[in-house]
Structure 1
Amino acid sequence: MRWPVLVMVGSLPGGASDGAVGRGGAGAVRLLAVTGRCVVKILISADMEGVTGVTWPDDVLPGHAQWQRFRPVFTGDVNAAIAGFFDGGADEVLVNEAHWSMRNLLLEQLDERARLLTGKHKALSMVEGVQYGDVDGVAFVGYHTGAGTEGVLAHTYLANSLTGVWVNGTRASEGYLNSLVVAEYGVPVVLVTGDDRTCEDAAGYAPGARAVAVKDYVSRYAAVCRPPARTAAEIRAAAREAAALAVRTEPVHGGPFTVEIEFDAEHLVVQAACVPGVEPAGERRVAYTSENMYEAIRCFKTVTTVVSSAVEEQYG
């Protein structure tokens, strides 16, 4: 992807010097030439399991009629967040697709003020774009809880074969993992949407963020849902408030990080241990340690990719 050239007219410690040209380093401040105020850029990481009305695998798996049905709903949740951020004073919104093939949102229906980063094979996957130094706040739209916990379509990267993830002993959802990644760039999580259990999870890793529950958990495959018009209004209002929270801070370097992964079958441990640095760590578990979350999440992606190739057809 080609990123726009930005003119740096000021900086915080660690940023580019006055007049430098580039994407912007960590801590860099961009100013609007007309008003002199700081440019505010939001990155929306858009997943699908936590979208309004979604409760069943067919709702989110490409190729199914239900997936086609929920693509406009997914786009609607994202548009509500985009509108709210612009209402709150944001100048730029970049939406990064973060579900499955990462080609689910309908570009032709997306709010024309935003830009869409779509497609797979991105260095930071779900939070791609945060590493370029010009993002002030991150929103997790359509998120869900982690593997082994209560929540609609709860999982962490792999739907069934991965049964739990822990980082330094704390059980980790995708939201928790991604919050640790963006913290290394000094970027706060300012908005989270999903089911009510997802909002409870977010209170642990982003206590200052605005949260919107678009449905209430009943089981992994059932929820009490609110109509899209209602959830869109709630998401937009929360995003408007969240825009004020988009203020970069000093990067948080909390490493080293020991990541422990539990699978539903022992042969997956053998496969995962093929990845350099990953070792068996007890029954159906592997573990590895990385000095920072950038490396930790990249290793995690590698493990899940290798393991997914070893998941066989269901039987019994």
Structure 2
Amino acid sequence: MQFKGIYTPVITPFHDDLSIDEKGYAQIIENQIALGTHAVVIGGTTGENYALSKEERVWQFKFANEVIAGRVPWIAGVNDIRTEDVCSYSVAAKENGASALLLAVPPYSVPTDEELALHALKVDRAANMPIMLYNYPGRSGTSFGEEFLERVGRSSNFQAIKESSGDIDRIHMLACQFPHLQLSCGADDQALEFFAWGAQSWVCAAGNFFATEAIALHKTCTIDGDFAKGRRIMKAMLPVMTVLERGGKFVQCVKYACELEGLPAGPVRLPLRPLKKELKRTMRDAVLTAKTAIQQIISE
């Protein structure tokens, strides 16, 4: 599978009673398709998968597949603590039409590279479909190391890696030592650097409210090769990405920005809490300023 373009890990909108807003969820997906997003991620952490029941997670796969109806590919976020549960989600995703899996390190367990490879290869055997690895040590406690990457590289299903460590040296290592793994941007504030090092895709949580702008940056860098213009777009984006990546309220900020776009989002589930007014104001100002600046750059 070729991973190219903007892949948005969609939010899960909730009603005030914290039940899933099914109509709103369909609207979120339809909005992404209408804006030209190349694919969506269903069941990712931006979608608060950790706060959903097993039944809700599997329902999301089925419901999203029906809404998407083959118009764009979709990737299933299947991560969990137990290997057996990850395998179960992976099989459910395949049965419900997913194009690929997004596989991260099981949180809290902090496995060695060998142990992690055994986990990943078991998931691979269960589902036998394309896999994008998801490296985010800040959330999982450990990274996909070089030994791990060499071990899982024996299976052709491991085709890409979403790198979210924020470590520029990891980008260099992956691009130089593992060129067979398609590099995907997983750090919204480093998109320009990823594109400069050959990444063709961006799993962009900001795409929930920033899809047009993210698509513009991707096209400018990866298709047009105009990195001078790309730097201008990225410079305009950075205040928004800084709030997202360093504000400590990632999902809340994404959902609030969706509301600014008139999209259904609703509250976040526990253990997260709503945004305070000050951070809302900071996020709103950053988004509105960035959108105005980027539209001007695009229209030139």
| TM-score in same-fold range (> 0.5) | no
Report the structure, 1 or 2, having the larger helix content.
2
TM-score, structure 2 normalization: 0.29
Report the structure, 1 or 2, having the larger strand content.
1
